[in-house]
Structure formats: structure tokens, C-alpha cells
């Protein structure tokens, strides 16, 4: 499920606070979801708690990390180094979360060759080499909308396993490549929509955009 990262963060906080055991109810409160959902999610993963006591934070954390694939590093390449791309490149959360940035690509000749957070900006022609060389698993698209599909195709061809798209455009990829989209402008419009409609439900749904 798409809630696992939430649980992971809550569990990490708990461990950091020295808590060794947690009930589904407390965890649900921290993650902002329903308690039954928490229990069902974990039971679905085959992870077991102790009735009458709760879940062991340390053990559960390891299990969640295993399922999330966080036990190994997933190298990331960022394509497109405008404002957003540069912010992403400088974002600390990547390395901390096991997603080291190992490559930066941009088509602008003025940017190619410049240094950014310890990496040299490479031209698109080097994409395949970077992916192969560093075992890149995730490609991040931070280009303008116009180039997004082209970049996605190149990433797939180069062999990345999944794609995170920040460009405000619909891109299509083969079924076997997980694709998620983050679009700030869209989020704002959705908010605006709900504000307009007043008291409608604003549940955020984990939609998987794929084709």
C-alpha cells in the first residue's frame, strides 16, 4: 500500500523517542489514519504484533523497510535542472532515505559541465551510460512539460525501474515501469476546487498514474 512510508516515518520518530512498543491505535494517530487500517495493512504484510501488547517498534521498522525496499540503495538520476530540479538535487531527504543522487542531466548547453551538489551536469546523450554505470533505479523528470515524454522514453530505454514525474504533463510508459506524478500547480488547483465547493471530502488518494 501507499501508506507504508507514513508508517515508516512514524515508527522512526517513535524509535528516536526511545519507544519500544506501540499500539495500532497510537500508530494510527501518528500516521493520521484509522486504527483498523493500520492493523489490516500490517497483517497483509505478514508482520505480526502481540495481542494485548502491541507492535515492537524496532522489528516493525525493519519489516517495513524490507517491504519498501529500503534495505538497499536506489540510485537516482535527475533530468532537468530548472528551479525545481536544482531544489531536488539539493534536497537532503534523498540521501537520508536511501536514494542517493548519482547523476544530473540537462539539455541546456549552458548548464552542461557545471558542477552542482558534487555532480557534473551531463548532456542527455550520456543518460544511458549514467544509468548503466551507477545502476540507477529511479529517474526523476523535472523538465518543462514539452520534453517530459521524450525524457521518459529515454529513461525507460536506459533501463530505470521506476519514474517520478514533476513535469506538468501526462507521460505514458510501459506497464512494467511504475510511474508517479507530482504536480504542484495541479495540487493548488485541486485545493482551489475544494475551497470553492465548500465542504466536500478532501481525502487524498494514492493514485497510481500509469498506462
Partner DNA sequence: CCTGCATTGTGAACGCACGCACAAGCTCTC
Partner DNA sequence: GAGAGCTTGTGCGTGCGTTCACAATGCAGG
Residue list 11-40, contact with a second copy (CB under 8 A): 30-32
**Site residue total, a second copy (CB under 8 A):** 71
Distance CA 201, CA 101 (A): 37
> Residue 70 corresponds to which cell in the numbers above?
529500503
Bridge partners of residue 139, in order along the sequence: 77, 163
Classify residue 87 by burial, with Cβ atoms within 10 Å: 0-12, 13-18, 19+: exposed
Under the binding rule (CB under 8 A), the answer on residue 10 touching a second copy is yes
Under the binding rule (CB under 8 A), the answer on residue 5 touching a second copy is yes
Task: Looking at residues 107 to 166 of the shown chain, list those that interact with a second copy (rule: CB under 8 A).
Answer: 137-138, 161-164
Under the binding rule (CB under 7 A), the answer on residue 39 touching DNA is yes
Under the binding rule (CB under 7 A), the answer on residue 170 touching DNA is no
Task: Looking at residues 4 to 23 of the shown chain, list those that interact with DNA (rule: CB under 7 A).
Answer: 22-23
160 in Cβ contact with 140 (< 8 Å): no
Distance CA 190, CA 183 (A): 11
* Smallest distance from a second copy to CB 67, Å: 7
The residue ranges that bind DNA (CB under 7 A) are: 1, 22-25, 33-37, 39-40, 42-43, 47-55, 208, 211
Amino acid at each position: 500500500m501507499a501508506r507504508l512510508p507514513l508508517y515508516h516515518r512514524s515508527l522512526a520518530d517513535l524509535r528516536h523517542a526511545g519507544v519500544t512498543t506501540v499500539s495500532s491505535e497510537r500508530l494510527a494517530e501518528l500516521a493520521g489514519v484509522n486504527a483498523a487500517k493500520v492493523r489490516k495493512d500490517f497483517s497483509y504484510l505478514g508482520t505480526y504484533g502481540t495481542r494485548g501488547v502491541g507492535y515492537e517498534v524496532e522489528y516493525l521498522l525493519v519489516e517495513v523497510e524490507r517491504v519498501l525496499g529500503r534495505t538497499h540503495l536506489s540510485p537516482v538520476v535527475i533530468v532537468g535542472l530548472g528551479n525545481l530540479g536544482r531544489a531536488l538535487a539539493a534536497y537532503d531527504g534523498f540521501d537520508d532515505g536511501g536514494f542517493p543522487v548519482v547523476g544530473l542531466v540537462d539539455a541546456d548547453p549552458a548548464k552542461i559541465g557545471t558542477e552542482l551538489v558534487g555532480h557534473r551536469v551531463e548532456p542527455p546523450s550520456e543518460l544511458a551510460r549514467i544509468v548503466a554505470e551507477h545502476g540507477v533505479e529511479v529517474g526523476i523528470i523535472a523538465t518543462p512539460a514539452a520534453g517530459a515524454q521524450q525524457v521518459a522514453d529515454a529513461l525507460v530505454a536506459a533501463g530505470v525501474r521506476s519514474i517520478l514525474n514533476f513535469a506538468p504533463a501526462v507521460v505514458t510508459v510501459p506497464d512494467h515501469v511504475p510511474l508517479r506524478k507530482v504536480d504542484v500547480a495541479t495540487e493548488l488547483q485541486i485545493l482551489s476546487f475544494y475551497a470553492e465547493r465548500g465542504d466536500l471530502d478532501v481525502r487524498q488518494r494514492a493514485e497510481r498514474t500509469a498506462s
